[in-house]
Amino acid sequence: MQKQPPTGGNPWVAVRPGDDVAVLARRVSSAHQLFVDRSVPAVSDTEQNAVRSVILDSWMRSTRKGVNPDGAARADHLAASELAEYRASHPMALIRPVVRKLLVEDAADTGLLVAITDEKGQLLWVEGDSTAKDRALNMNFVEGADWSEDTVGTNAPGTALALDHCVQIFGAEHFSRSVHEWSCSAAPVHDPATGLIVGAIDITGGPRVAVPEVLSLIRATVAAAEAELRLNLLRSPQPLVDTVTRLEVLGSGRPSLVREGRRTPLSRRHAEILLLLAEHPEGLSSDRLAVLLDESDLDSVTIRAEMSRLRKVFGTAGIGSRPYRLLADLVSDVQQVRSALDRGELAAALDIYSGPVLPGSDAPGVEDIRDELRARVQAALLREGDQRLLARWTTSVHGRADVAAWEAYLAGLDPRSPLYSQVKSRVDLFDQQYAT
């Protein structure tokens, strides 16, 4: 869970009513300089008091990824015809008319730019004020450029995609110094069929882009865009994103890969390896993977043999070596639960969370993921206090022994209701069982 910003309130909003923009700019700029000039990446008390935790977390990720604060966005050097072909076939092309109607048509002579990205952060379209477009060339904010957080560091479209959440970035909150003259608001767009991210919508301009009203405008535009995608789905009932392979490891069923509608059962070991690689996109050495799979330490020969067998199932081109890492897109149901929780969609998270992560696995790395995910779901339930969802959780296989959830459920019931006595008897039973 993200910590609150220094002044409290919505952590995703950059400039709040009553903020002095000049004072805020100086404070954030000073914190950025302290952070990037430090030889060892860390967060000081000064920065914690000056910058939202959402920004500090992104700065840390940017540093770990080796992003140069004096660098620029990378262009993929696609020929104009290749970029045009890619954009035309991308799902975000379906929502471009909606974005143009709601945002672009009013952006002329305002100093504002409206950008649409793909799911990886590549800019597909950049439209709006012509003078602003010319100025944006200096930071390579152009169609075809890679504005993912991994490449540019903290920025609204890249960070929105990284966190799967709407976000605003004000001035020097950007990791790259070349973007400090700009502010931006962005939000991810999801495929209504799969829930997967298909891209992002962004507004870039001056400080007034970082106020709450602009974030509301972006969210409203995303809602309209996703409604358009839903209508398109009704006309052509095929998922917009059907090339991403899905790893299913939740619940008591056999773990599986789902690719283009076809389900391939996996051995537990292969499911463990794919899950660990999905959780570590930076890659894992043979020794590290062995430790995460077995505390008694598998030898490298066994690991190589398992990887050779896994490649026959997953695809030779999909897994790299030295370190072992995924080269093909893979989304796990674990990641989907986390994404739903990050969006505040607890009911959707529970729909996906059919049971513990690989319940039969005793691999240390898998046990850590299992414990972390269950703790996140439980914490969200207790925080929301939704009686309907608590009832659903406490009657499920993974929540029926959750004492804290039963107590939260009881606290929200009317003592005069018949259900209250039933739930209270369960809580009393727990008290007897755990009494010392």
Alpha-carbon distances, residue 216 vs 25, 107, 211 (angstroms)? 22, 16, 9
The answer to whether 6 touches 55, Cβ cutoff 8 Å, is no
Distance (Å, whole) CA 89 – CA 87: 5
pLDDT given at position 2: 37
> Is the C-alpha dihedral spanning 52, 336, 277, 122 positive or negative?
negative
pLDDT in tens, 46-71: 556 678 989 999 999 998 888 999 88
Residues 307-311: what's their mean pLDDT?
Answer: 90
Tokens 């398992």, residue located: 306
pLDDT band at 234 (very low <50, low <70, confident <90, very high): confident
Strands 245-248 and 330-332: parallel
Prior bond of 239 cis (ω within 30°) = no
Tokens 């995609």, residue located: 161
Helix (H, G, I), strand (E, B) or coil at 122: strand
Domain spans in the chain, listed from the N-terminal domain onward: 1-236, 243-384, 385-436
pLDDT in tens, 366-391: 999 999 998 998 888 888 888 888 88
Two tokens at 346? 């607890």
Say what percent of the chain tops pLDDT 90: 41
On the question of pLDDT at 249 being above 90, the answer is yes
Helix (H, G, I), strand (E, B) or coil at 139: helix
Distance (Å, whole) CA 1 – CA 3: 6
Packing angle between helix 364-384 and helix 387-394, nearest 10 degrees?
A: 140
Of 199, 196, 238, the residue nearest 331 (C-alpha): 196
The answer to whether 323 touches 332, Cβ cutoff 8 Å, is no
Angle at 47 between CA 6 and CA 184, to 5 degrees: 70
- Please give the residue that has the higher pLDDT: either 59 or 243: 59
Alpha-carbon distances, residue 383 vs 32, 338, 379 (angstroms)? 33, 16, 6
pLDDT in tens, 391-430: 878 877 777 788 888 888 888 888 877 778 888 888 888 7
Distance (Å, whole) CA 174 – CA 192: 30
The CATH class for the domain spanning 243-384 reads mainly alpha
Alpha-carbon distances, residue 239 vs 95, 235, 314 (angstroms)? 15, 11, 21
- Please give the residue that has the higher pLDDT: either 74 or 25: 25
Of 239, 242, 243, 232, the residue nearest 95 (C-alpha): 232
Find the Cα–Cα–Cα–Cα dihedral 57, 207, 137, 177, rounded to 10°.
-40
Distance (Å, whole) CA 229 – CA 195: 12
Pick the CATH number of 1-236 from 3.30.450.40, 3.30.420.40, 3.30.365.10, 3.30.70.980: 3.30.450.40
DSSP 8-state secondary structure symbol assigned to residue 92: G
Distance (Å, whole) CA 238 – CA 246: 16
The values of phi and psi at residue 287, to 5°, are: -65, -45
On the question of pLDDT at 292 being above 60, the answer is yes
Two tokens at 239? 């998922």
How far apart are the two ends of the chain, measured CA to CA in Å? 33
The answer to whether 353 touches 344, Cβ cutoff 8 Å, is no
Q: How many CA within 13 A on the CB side of residue 38?
A: 14
What is the value of pTM for the model shown? 0.55
Strands (DSSP E) found in 48-104: 74-75
pLDDT in tens, 71-110: 877 765 566 777 888 888 899 999 999 999 899 887 767 8
